[in-house]
Amino acid sequence: MKRSNGEGTVFKNAKTGKWVAQVTYYQDGKRKRKTKTSRNRSDANSNLRKLHEEVESGFVSSGTETVGKYLKSWLENVQRENSENMFLSATNIMQNHVIPLIGRKHLVKLSPMDVQNMIDRLRDNGVGGRSVQMAYEYLNSAMVRAYAFRMIRENPCGPIRKPKHSYAKANPFTVEEVQALLKYLKGHRFYNLVFVALTTGMRPGEVFGLFWENVDLDNAKIHVKQQLSNAGGKKKIIPPKTKSSIRTVDISDATVTALIEQRKQLVKSGHAGSEYVFLGRNGASVGYINFQKIWTNILSKAGVQHRGFHHVRHTFATLAISSGVPITVISATLGHGNTATTLQTYAHAMPSQRSDATNAVSKMIG
């Protein structure tokens, strides 16, 4: 006789001596059973009621799927329904920050405390504020979907306050450090790459993904239309970070000279037909992960305190500000969506002009 959906029973396992609560239900037209074991009949009856509630509410889980396995399937859904940039960003955050910390936990057992502990550990490990915030946002999005499909009883991210992101103080290289760096790099295969990055403020991925077709030497301009991504350990050309990142950067005569020298270098190395402006030793595009290792060695030999290569961008912005370049021009050159972002990031580098303002107004009305 066919059991009705949610029908259950309690019995004692003769071999183990434990009490078993078991319900039968139908999912996708297939008959399934879910059981819970306990040491006594009273607990078994309580478990049976809980199982009935799960079936009636539509929540039925095997309890064996891990967070890591679920997040991989969630990323596949992100790839289908969102932009490539969104997918690569989510993949990077999940693989580097979320899955290593909570990936082995069972999905149905993930608790708000687990989520908070993840956030705290990311902060303790020195992960940037925005990355911590994104780890929470992406995990929350994944858990909302899991809850919608009745894979979990409740969203464990729900009770947790979203981490705040404050703009980190930039740590640029000093003029003396830049001079020491360029002095060491003279004749190095990456001199031109570093020089272009220092004099344009382009993001590392934008520099690594720069094609010759986007370089206009005659009019001294670089058209930033793409970047090279290293998400998931795979190099891939993708659109820039944001719409405002698509921009035209006016370059100096010195930068034009560096690019001309770079073209000569490619011809000399047998890569005259390369679409990439900058190549690694083996003729392949320059990947961020591998370049970071080279960069660390360069700084060490140049006697310069270590910072990540992205601090070269901060250096450009800071030196431009200290030289009196208008913040609107700097913001547009960096590809920021608005000047507020530039001000929040580099306000510390701006010379105080409060006394100038008060003196100017006083003279006007005095």
Same domain, residue pair 137 and 189 = no
What sections of 173-287 are H helices per DSSP? 175-185, 191-200, 204-208, 253-268
Ramachandran class of 153: left when φ > 0, alpha when ψ lies in -120 to 50, beta otherwise: alpha
Q: What is the predicted pLDDT for the residue at 81? A: 86
- The alpha-helical segments, DSSP class H, found in 230-326 are 253-268, 288-302, 311-322
The reported pLDDT for the residue numbered 1 is 38
Same domain for 337 and 219: yes
19 and 116 belong to one structural domain: no
State which of 148, 183, 215 marks the end of a domain.
Answer: 148
pTM score over 0.85: no
In contact, 231 and 92? CB cutoff 8 Å = yes
* Domain assignment present for 235: yes
Q: Is residue 163 part of a domain?
A: no
168-200 burial, b at 16+ Cβ within 10 Å, e below that, comes to: eebebbeeebbebbeebbeeeebbbbbbbbbbb
For residue 335, being part of any structural domain is answered with yes
Q: What is the reported pLDDT for 361?
A: 63
User: What are 69's two structure tokens?
Assistant: 């396995």
What is the mean pLDDT of the segment spanning 278-305? 92
Is 105 inside any structural domain? yes
Q: What pLDDT is attached to residue 356? A: 61
Judge if 197 and 324 occupy the same domain: yes
Is residue 131 located within the same domain as residue 18? Answer: no
Kind and range of the H or E element at 47?
helix 41-57
| Torsion angle defined by CA atoms of residues 47, 50, 55 and 56, in that order, rounded to the nearest 10 degrees | 140
What pLDDT sits at residue 281?
83
Rg for the chain, CA atoms, rounded: 29
Distance, in Å, from the CA atom of 7 to the CA atom of 112, rounded to the nearest integer, reads: 32
Looking at the fold, whether 76 and 202 belong to one and the same domain comes out as no
Look at residue 167 and tell me if it is in a domain: no
**Considering only 78-92, 95-109, 279-293, 347-361, which range has the smallest mean pLDDT?**
347-361
Rounded Cα distance, 124 and 131, in Å: 13
The amino acid present at 86, given as its one-letter code, is M
pLDDT of 323 > 80? The answer is: yes
> Distance (Å, rounded) from C-alpha 303 to C-alpha 310?
18
Q: Rounded mean pLDDT of 29-55?
A: 84
Q: Which domain holds residue 141?
A: 67-148
Beta strands at 247-250 and 221-224: parallel, antiparallel or unpaired? antiparallel
pLDDT at residue number 207 = 98
Q: What are phi and psi of 121, to 5 degrees?
A: -70, -40
- Pick from 132, 148, 164: which residue ends a domain? 148
**Is 360 contained in some domain?**
no
How many helices and strands, by DSSP H and E, does the chain display?
Answer: 15, 8
Name the more confident of 109 and 347: 109
d(CA 250, CA 223): 9
Q: 197 and 118: one domain?
A: no
Tell me the mean pLDDT in the region 215-221.
Answer: 98
Of the listed ranges 54-63, 132-141, 167-176, 295-304, the one predicted with least confidence: 54-63
In the chain, % of residues over pLDDT 90: 60
Res. 7 pLDDT band, cuts 50 70 90: low
Q: How confident is the model at residue 129 (pLDDT cuts 50, 70, 90)?
A: confident
Residue 170 has pLDDT above 90, yes or no: no
**Which tokens belong to 9?**
């029973």
CATH number of the domain that 227 lies in? 1.10.443.10
The answer to whether residue 305 sits within a structural domain is yes
Q: Do 86 and 211 belong to one domain?
A: no
Q: CA 26 to CA 47: how far, in whole Å?
A: 19
Which CATH number do you get for residue 103?
1.10.150.130
**Average pLDDT for residues 293-315, to the nearest whole number?**
94
Q: Which of 131, 148, 165 is the last residue of a domain?
A: 148
Query: Residue 237 in contact with residue 228, Cβ under 8 Å?
Result: yes
Q: What is the tens place of the pLDDT at every residue in 13-41?
A: 988 999 999 988 766 556 778 888 999 99
Q: What pLDDT, on the 0 to 100 scale, is given for residue 166? A: 65
Q: Are 119 and 185 found together in one domain?
A: no
The answer as to whether 365 is a domain residue is: no
Query: What pLDDT sits at residue 232?
Result: 60
Is residue 32 within 8 A of residue 75, CB to CB? The reply is no
Let me know whether 186 and 298 are in one domain: yes
The tally of domains found in the chain comes to 3
Is 209 in the same domain as 338? yes
CA dist 232 and 95 (Å) reads 7
pLDDT at 113 over 50: yes
The residue-averaged pLDDT of 345-365 equals: 64
Phi and psi at residue 238, in whole multiples of 5°? -135, 170
Average pLDDT over residues 248-256: 97
Structure confidence at residue 84 (pLDDT)? 79
Do 269 and 190 have their domain in common?
A: yes
* pLDDT band with cut points at 50, 70 and 90 for residue 229: confident
Q: What is the pLDDT of residue 27?
A: 61
Whole-number average pLDDT of the chain? 88
* Residue 343 to residue 326: CA distance in whole angstroms: 11
